[in-house]
Structures are given as structure tokens and as C-alpha cells.
Structure 1
Amino acid sequence: MGVRAEALQILKDNRGLATIIAEKAGYSTSGAFNKILKRNNFQTENFDGFVIGMKLIYPDNFLVKMEELVEECNPQNLTSRCMLEYLSVNRLTEGFLKLINKMENCNNAESREWSKFYKFIYENQTSEKLDYNDFLKRVEDEKTSVDELIILQNLLKIYSYHQKKTYKSIKDIVEETEIAIDKLENEFIKKSYLARLSEPLAYISLWVNSDEESCRKYANNVLNSEMGLGYKGSAYYQIGYSYMFSSYEKAISYLNKSMDIYTSLGRAAVVEDIEEKIELITIHWNKNNFSECRYIQNQLYLETKRNSTENLVSLRDQIDEPFYYYLLGLKNGYNEMALLKSMVKYLKRGDSFLANLPKSVLLKNDYDEEFLMDLVSLKIA
């Protein structure tokens, strides 16, 4: 029994479920979803609604069933193109590759073009180490006249520039990509491509531009999409960190949401990183009631705040260099030169957000704000 036939049986056995699906997925009648499931040629004009319906029918193994649906996809139609995007953003790599191959070998020329560009995404997701100079060149060399694929090509370029940290190149194509996405007619593809664009822009807004509001806007685009848990864990992480200097409660709340997701995914290293950040922010806001920290850098921050700096120099090599100069700047109350050195070192490595640590202390001590802003803008430019 195929997935759609099984879903029809579940609807038959659970009276009222079709009505709930119609209400939540935006179908005009309770029988509309059934018609999609009964079609010989699996196709839906409302892929967003179809996803909602499948989630309600398969609350416990929804992603498994979506991947199994590849067997029932007609590689020549629009639904298969939406399915390609869905499988890729949820990293369902087995079904993703199977659908790419089906589309690559079908008779529809446009579907074959889609498979070609999504093969780049598969390569990026499954390669242990990718040469992004070579990858970018191959992406740029491809030609297409399909609106969605022109956008996807730009998204692949942006991702590659992000990995290479050539942020000026991203800035040059973001606006045209946003405009092109807004003109798309398919709502699922439009929302998903906006989320693809927003994921690197959330990071860049926060760490490179120190623009907390833009970071949250872009991260929320990811949260409001069908992108998988890994992407959403990252979005919560960016939002949480963006509140480091403005709201302790919001910072911890969002970081805990991120940590819960990464715990469920078994990403132990990421979980430990978030735990370290939560400890750091707790000390920064003087909310701690502990005498010792789990992490050396945070322990030195705690000791410095308590005017105990005898371990700072001896443990210098075990902590982040810009952060060392930040702590040195706090030693004995205020060390202007050390704080400026900390700020410059953060900016030199492209971290405008954490440069706010020494910057905030300098401003509290009436340092020339215009000069500090010029310093930041020179690096961002």
C-alpha cells in the first residue's frame, strides 16, 4: 500500500479529520484533500496545505512518510519540484537523491534543469569537505531561464560567498534576489527560498553588521518556514545571542529553545557551545549565584568581575585573544588601551557583534562615540 492509499484509509477510519485538515490547510471542502490523495497523477496546487494535511494524518512519523512519497511522485510536474525543495531543506537525503535521479532521467526538460541545480545542494549537504571556490565556479557556469532556478543559483552563490566570508559579494546580489523571490507565484517555493536567503543573512546581520533587529527578522523567516530542525535550531541561536546586550530573559529563553532542538538531534558539540554561551551571558548580566564556572574563559570573566585577576595572565593562552584584552580592560576598573585593542581584534576577524563588549565599557567611560562608530563602519565596509 502506497502512502497516499494509506492516508486515505486513515481518513476513512478517523471521521472528522478531513474537516480539520480543510480548516487548517485552507481547503474549501473536507473532500478536497481526499481528491489529491486519489489522483492517479500525484499533483497538488497547494503544497503548503498538503504538508499541513500530512502532518495531521501522520503526527508521529510525518517526515518518514514524506520521504516515502518520492515513489509516487511524477518527476515531470510542479509537485515534484516542490518536493525536491521540501526534502532538501529537511535533509532527507536518501529520498532527495532518489527524486533528483528520477527528474534527471525524465522527459520534461524543465524538470531535468531542476535536478541539475538541486544536485548542487545535495553535493553541499553530503560532502565532508567542499572546495567552495570550485563549487562556486561550477554553479556560476550553469545556464537557466527558469525564474525559480535563477533565484536558486543566486542562493547557492550567496551560500558559497558566506562560506568564503566574502560578504561584499553577498551584498551585491541580495536585493535583486529578494525582489525576484517576492514575484514568485508558488507560495511554498516563495516562502522556502526566502528562508534559504534569510539563514545566512541572519548570521551576517548579527556577527558582521551587529544589526540585532535585522538578525531577528531574518531568523524568524526561517522559523516560519518548513525548513528542518537544524535550521530552526540555528535561528533560535542567532535570536538568543542577539539579545545578549538587551535582554537576559529573552537571550536565555531563545538559547534554551536552540539547545532543546540540538539535544534532540544528538548534536553534543553544539549543545556544549550553547551551554557555554548561556553561562557567559549569565555572568555578563550578573545573574549568577555560582562560585565556579564550567568553562575557563567564563571563570576568568567571573573572577575579573569580582576584582580577582591573578589567573588572567597565566591562563591567557587558553582563552580567546580579543576576550583576553576585554578582561584586561576591566582589570582594576578601566584600561582604555586594552579595551581598544580588544575591539580592534574582534573587528579584524569580522565579529562586529562581540566588539560591543569592549565598546560598551568605553562608552560608559565617555570615550568618543563618533570615533568608535567610524572604527566599526570602516571594518564593515
Structure 2
Amino acid sequence: MVESNQDIAEYLSTADDVEQAILNLDPNSHLARTALEYAINNSMTNVLDELIEKLLTSDNEESQSWAEVYRIDREVVKGNLSLIEATNKLTYMKSEAKELNALRKIFQLYNYHDLKYFEMVSTLSELVQAEIEELVNGYIKKSLISRLGLVMQAVYLHLNDLEKCRNYGNIILDNAVTEKARGVALRNIANSYTLINYDIAIMYFNESKALFQKLGQHVELTNSQRSLNFAHCYWNKQENFSRTSPYNAPEEIQGYAYYLIKNKEYTQAEKLLEQLQTNITNNFQLGFQYYYKGLIKNCEDYFLESVTHFKKAGDYYYRNLPLIELKKIGVNNVVLDALRV
């Protein structure tokens, strides 16, 4: 007989078929509720969707509430619900379950992150952290610690608070319930060193890549390789540009343009950036777009435009890129200090 307080990771460790074991769980049980988190962490999308439906139609009110939180998150992923709509729905949900309330707030933090409300996430995270610390030790608590760490790593990188970014990275490495989370944490730590220390950045990027290669996580491997390529270019380290996927994402095209710029192939780089211009979808990408254009033309106006878009994106870390170039071309320190705010 399954104990109501049994840990999901312990329970599934003895299962011959993990996915089937999850789907056979009593939807009214604690295990079924915690299995939602296990399924999402392990990219079992079909299992997650089926389990959500089972819990939504169960006889247990708490199971229904858990399923509704995950359903809202899935609707955002599928593009059926806006970040603001999802955040509002999560705000007005009521539950007595401490674990669910902490999870609900973490989903809200992720939404605020995607909306570029980085300062708000930083402020609210302290309350969420306190709630997580009160939870009983087990799979859910470790997963929530890891989830919070991942969003806070990204937030503090954007806010240019690199020490906190790295601290959260180490927390993830100590608490991650999946190797994928460890790989992302390693990449974020590497990113925090990219503009500061080449050797340390490359070490962490390579650790991240090795993990994703082992896991067969192709998309994450692509992201780590792209960041590694950027670090090589930034530090003027010559290396063949390596693509790990056939995708033509804006970030990938911009990265290749950066490689061309560093190899003084300005005409080809400029052509790539011009072709890409209409496909840029956010201020963060525009920040890089104008930074690269500024490098080609050594143009103050382009670097100022880059600063403007990074500022609109709420980013302080990569805003340093155009600021460094503006300093090189002689822009007054008083002006540079004003642009950093």
C-alpha cells in the first residue's frame, strides 16, 4: 500500500515503467499531486497533460487545485494564455497546502521574469524563499529550491548582481532534482564570468555542454554552445564557429554575425544583421543588434541605441557591452554613469 507521505522519487525508483506508474496513481493521492512536478521536471509532457486532466476531474479538492496550477502554466507554454492573465489567475487561487502555495508563487515569479520585471522578482523572492524553507524535506521542497534558484540566477544576471547569481547557481547544484537544471545553472554561472574572466567562463560552459551532451538535451546544448561562442568572440579567441543545431534563431544569426565581425568580415556581417532586423521580437535582441551594428561602423549612435534597448529590457549586465565601446570612443564618464542607471 502506498503511504500518503511517501516521496515520489522514492516511489518511482522501483517502478519498471515510470510513465505508466505515474498514470496509474490514485488521482486523489498526495503522490499523484507530487507526480505533476516530477513529470514536468523530466519533460514528460504527454504524461503531465493526462495527469492534469485526471486530477482536475478527481474527487479531491486539493488534487483539483494542484492540477489547476499546472494547467495554467501549460496554457502559457502553449500560447493560449498571456503572462498577465496567468499571473492574475494564480494570484486569486486559494489553497491550504503550503507546497502548492509556494509553487504557485514561483510560477508567478517566472511570469514576472518573462515580463522583464526583474526588480519585482528580486523583492518577492525573499517571501517565497521563506515559504519554501518551512516545507517538509523531500522531492517537492528540493524541486522548488531548484526552480527558485534558476529564475533568480537569471534575474540577478540581468541586474548585474553577479555574486547573487553565482550563489543561486551553487544552491541549484546542491539541490537540483534533474541534471538538466544543473546544466542550466552551470551555464548561468559561466555567463556571469563572460565579461570578467575568460578562463572561468569557458570552464563552466564546457561543464554545461558536457552535461547536455550526455543527456542528449539538444536545445540546451545549443544554448550553451551559443554562449560559449560569444565568450570566445568577446575575448578575441579564434575558434571556428560551431553550430550545434540547424535552427536559425535570431540569437544564432546574431552570434554568427559577431563571429564575422571579429574576423573583420564586416560586409557579410552587416548583410546578415539587415536581413534579420524585421525578425527581431524584443528589446533584449535589439540591444545586441545595435551593439553589433556599432562594432561594424564604430558608431556612437548605434551604441547609444543598444544601451536604450538593453535598458528597456531591464538588463544591466549586457548593457555593459555598448558602454565599454562608448568609453573607448571617448564618451564622457559623467554621461556613461548616467547611462548605467
The verdict on how the C-alpha distance between 1:250 and 1:194 changes in structure 2, with shifts beyond 3 A counting, is same
Q: Equivalent residue for 2:321?
A: 357
Matched, 1:211 2:161: yes
Q: Equivalent residue for 1:347?
A: 311
- Once the two structures are TM-superposed, the CA of residue 244 in structure 1 deviates from its matched residue by 0.6
The verdict on how the C-alpha distance between 1:276 and 1:85 changes in structure 2, with shifts beyond 3 A counting, is closer
Q: Equivalent residue for 1:114?
A: 66
Q: Equivalent residue for 2:126?
A: 175
- Once the two structures are TM-superposed, the CA of residue 229 in structure 1 deviates from its matched residue by 5.0
Q: Distance in 2 between matches of 1:251 and 1:135?
A: 36
Match 1:246 to one of 184, 196, 209: 196
Matched, 1:302 2:259: no
Q: Equivalent residue for 1:137?
A: 88
Q: Equivalent residue for 1:323?
A: 292
- Once the two structures are TM-superposed, the CA of residue 209 in structure 1 deviates from its matched residue by 0.5
Q: Distance in 2 between matches of 1:103 and 1:273?
A: 35
* Matched letter for residue 160 of structure 1: N
Match 1:89 to one of 41, 44, 56: 41
- Once the two structures are TM-superposed, the CA of residue 45 in structure 1 deviates from its matched residue by 4.0
SS at the partner of 1:120?
Answer: helix
Is the 2:41–2:178 contact (alpha carbons within 8 Å) kept by the matching residues of 1? yes
Q: Distance in 2 between matches of 1:111 and 1:293?
A: 46
Q: Distance in 2 between matches of 1:260 and 1:185?
A: 33
The verdict on how the C-alpha distance between 1:268 and 1:110 changes in structure 2, with shifts beyond 3 A counting, is closer
- Once the two structures are TM-superposed, the CA of residue 300 in structure 1 deviates from its matched residue by 0.8
**CA deviation vs aligned residue, 1:52-101 (integer Å, no higher than 9, x gap):** x82xx6xxxx8x83322224534344333322221222221233234334
**CA deviation vs aligned residue, 1:195-215 (integer Å, no higher than 9, x gap):** 222222211211x20222222
Matched, 1:235 2:185: yes
Q: What fraction of aligned residue pairs are identical, expressed as a percent? A: 24
Q: Equivalent residue for 1:376?
A: 340
The verdict on how the C-alpha distance between 1:298 and 1:134 changes in structure 2, with shifts beyond 3 A counting, is same
Larger Rg: 1
The verdict on how the C-alpha distance between 1:172 and 1:281 changes in structure 2, with shifts beyond 3 A counting, is closer
The verdict on how the C-alpha distance between 1:139 and 1:361 changes in structure 2, with shifts beyond 3 A counting, is same
* Matched letter for residue 41 of structure 1: V
Q: Equivalent residue for 1:156?
A: 107
Stretches of structure 2 that go unaligned for 5 or more consecutive residues are 244-255, 277-288
Instruction: Say what the alpha-carbon RMSD is for the aligned residues.
Output: 3.6
More deviation, 197-206/280-289: 280-289
**CA deviation vs aligned residue, 1:224-251 (integer Å, no higher than 9, x gap):** 4454455444333222221112222332
Q: How many residue pairs align between the two structures?
A: 317
Q: Equivalent residue for 2:227?
A: 277
Is the 1:326–1:357 contact (alpha carbons within 8 Å) kept by the matching residues of 2? no
Q: Distance in 2 between matches of 1:76 and 1:311?
A: 60
SS at the partner of 2:263?
Answer: helix
- Once the two structures are TM-superposed, the CA of residue 221 in structure 1 deviates from its matched residue by 3.5
Is the 1:326–1:358 contact (alpha carbons within 8 Å) kept by the matching residues of 2? no
Stretches of structure 1 that go unaligned for 5 or more consecutive residues are 1-39, 330-334
The verdict on how the C-alpha distance between 1:47 and 1:65 changes in structure 2, with shifts beyond 3 A counting, is same
Is the 2:8–2:38 contact (alpha carbons within 8 Å) kept by the matching residues of 1? no
SS at the partner of 1:234?
Answer: helix
Is the 2:187–2:205 contact (alpha carbons within 8 Å) kept by the matching residues of 1? yes
Matched, 1:187 2:147: no
The verdict on how the C-alpha distance between 1:91 and 1:276 changes in structure 2, with shifts beyond 3 A counting, is closer
- Once the two structures are TM-superposed, the CA of residue 157 in structure 1 deviates from its matched residue by 1.6
